[in-house]
Chains A and B, each alone.
Chain A
Amino acid sequence: MVSFLFNEWLSETMPRHQLLQLPALFVLGIILGSRFSKDKVIDLSWSIAIFIFIMSSFVFWMLPHSIDVAAINAWFNRVMHINMLVAGFLLVPALRHALFEIKIIFLGMWAAMITAAGIALRVFDILLCSAFTIEQQKETGLWLIIIGTGLYAFTLFVFFSGLSRK
């Protein structure tokens, strides 16, 4: 597992921790999910529950206190790894069988959340995570704004391509 091998290096700075480690684990989960849960059929209520779980997972691991503890406590760090892997693993079947409306709402709210978190990190002049520096915090904020804006554009792309399908 990439994260276990490079865990120390990834936990060294905030951008690495937030922008590399979290998404990498999530993407690993997605790859696993697309390999092993291809044919799983998930009904509407479960897919909504999974989306809420994924959103809450991201919110939780973006909280300053969670980031701090994950950076200094190995056990808590493992929980983060598993959580993000599971979130990514569940995303594929949930997305595949979700209603179009739910997909767009999920992607749109996710984009909004990441952008807002990025802006907050960017403008906040007080150190939020004692394990990192204020410069790293601002750099992370900038990248989150870029990722959030990209995700917003992706949401619109999914929306318009969904509407264009004949």
Chain B
Amino acid sequence: MIEISATEIKKQKKLVLTWSITFLTVFPLLIILGLLMRLNQGEKISLGMDNFYVLMTLHGLGMAGILYSIAFAALWYLIGTRYAKLNTGTGYFVFFMVLAGVAGLVIATLIGKFGAGWYLLYPLPFKGTFWPTWATGLSIISLIILGIAWLIGIIHLVYALAKEFGGFSNLLGWQYIRKKEVDRELPPIVLITTVSLVPGVIAFIAGAVFLVMFLLQHFEPTLAFDPLLLKNLIFFFGHTLVNITLYCCIGWVYALLPEFTGRPWKVDKVVVYSWNATFFFILFAYFHHLYMDFVQPLPFQYAGQIASYLSAIPATAITMFGVIAQLYHSKVKWGVIPLSFLLGTAGWAIGGFSAVVDSTIAANKVLHNTLWVPAHFHTYMLGGVVLFILGFLFYLSHSKEEQEKDKMAKFGLWLFVIAVHSFIATFYRGGLRSIPRRYSDYGGIRIEYTHSTGALLAQIASVFIGLLLVGLIIMYVSIIVKLSKRKIPSAGA
């Protein structure tokens, strides 16, 4: 077993605080972009189509990037202070590369007006654009920088774990299947880190292929690639990135929730089987993004549905069961940290369920181009991942007693959660009423019901975004006050 020195822990805390402050700064700004978009759809302000898509691009890329980055940074911190020696120099290198990538994207979108959406659906970044070509080039280079930064971080972390736990198969928990008794217990966070991050390596390298192809076309505009191939590559990269963000967060719920319930949460055969299923099927689940592409070979469409079910259901079911087993009759004191984790798990389950509904071919035929899609990913990102992140930030800033007594933080959390689910409900309602997604506004829709319902729901959504920002600010105050008071955070001790 490895011994982590106090100096090393201090260094890791500084690194994770750097990430946390960056997240705390960037996250509300990106929410404001979302608010502006909904106000525009609600016909309360007029951004113009080009500005709307610029904001949508920055909101999408920014949220996916910052949520993944902080989820990864939190995993890095928990692993680096408990289970393996991680190089903080590499950690800062990743941080500054991510910062450089984000700066490039901000310049490309806000100054260059790059507005192709996070998915850059081919031939969109090149054909029919309203932005200059340098903005496309800068966006592609920024994404390459981000991809390389994340890859370096992932490989460093997984490699350090593999060295510590005696190889890759041990990280996946196969020793639990092979033997009755294991020599060394595998912490669940290590298993989930591996399951989350290793598919990321496979997907990020594949993502590099489409980014290099984009770069080639940027330099040689007469080039034209197969749109179906590019869509497959883009969603393999993008879907995997978003999926692993969620699983990174689940990793620390397995690690931290037992500290509040007082019950151990151990790896066993069932946990190993379910998370290994996720490890394998996560790579093929992205096919569900291509149901509308009639030229996609039919077996891939079926594979998409099957893989979506098999990658999500076993791990979700086993985690839900685990959370219930942790909490039932545990006499847990409902401070803001366990509350964030429980509510986040609920958001993950609800969002995951509506995602599985959407990945069902028969349902997707109706829901694919409607607001159901932003509904489901906002549920598990805003109502799941963000709550897990907030829980982690409270863990960094508050002691166990402080988080139990902090009424202001709890009020902020409840306000945030109620506002989030109300905001998301407007998306679900819109999806069920066939309000189209990715529309800058609904003014051009000739069906009056769709136009008026879309605009009304966007107006209601704007009110709830305002409320969730208030809840967030209250929690920010609590976190920042506590962080500024303590020199070295006690990390839940």
Contact = CB atoms under 8 A, between A and B. Distances in A.
B201 interface: yes
A111 B90 contact: no
Interface string B216-235: 10001011111001000000
A164 B213 contact: no
A147 interface: no
Interface string A139-163: 0000000001000100110011011
A166 B155 contact: no
Contacts of B204: 108
A104 interface: yes
A107 B152 CA distance: 13
Contacts of B167: 163-166
Most buried by A among B155, B159, B222: B155
Contact of A101 (B156, B209, B213, B229): B156
A163 B225 contact: no
Contacts of A111: 205, 209
Interface in B194-222: 198, 201-202, 204-206, 208-213, 215-216, 220, 222
Contact of B159 (A120, A152, A162): A162
A2 to B, nearest CB: 30
B47 interface: no
A120 B155 contact: no
Contact of B169 (A109, A112, A116, A164): A164
Contacts of B456: none
Chain A contact-residue range equals: 20 to 34
Contacts, number: 87
Contacts of B225: 119-120, 123
Contacts of B162: 162-165
Contacts of A124: 222-223
A105 interface: yes
A112 B226 CA distance: 16
A113 interface: yes
A117 interface: yes
A111 B225 CA distance: 18
A5 interface: no
Contacts of B229: 119
B148 interface: yes
Interface string A14-58: 000000000000000000000000000000000000000000000
B389 interface: no
Interface in B10-31: none
B151 A120 contact: no
A160 B159 CA distance: 10
A108 B213 contact: no
Nearest to B210: A116
A113 B223 contact: no
A108 B209 CA distance: 9
Given A111-B209, A115-B212, A120-B213, 15 more contacts: A101-B90, A108-B205, A109-B205, A109-B208, A112-B205, A112-B209, A113-B212, A117-B212, A119-B209, A123-B223, A123-B226, A148-B209, A164-B169, A165-B167, A166-B166
18 contacts: A104-B155, A104-B201, A105-B152, A109-B208, A112-B212, A113-B212, A116-B215, A120-B213, A120-B220, A120-B223, A156-B201, A156-B202, A162-B162, A163-B168, A163-B198, A164-B169, A165-B167, A166-B167
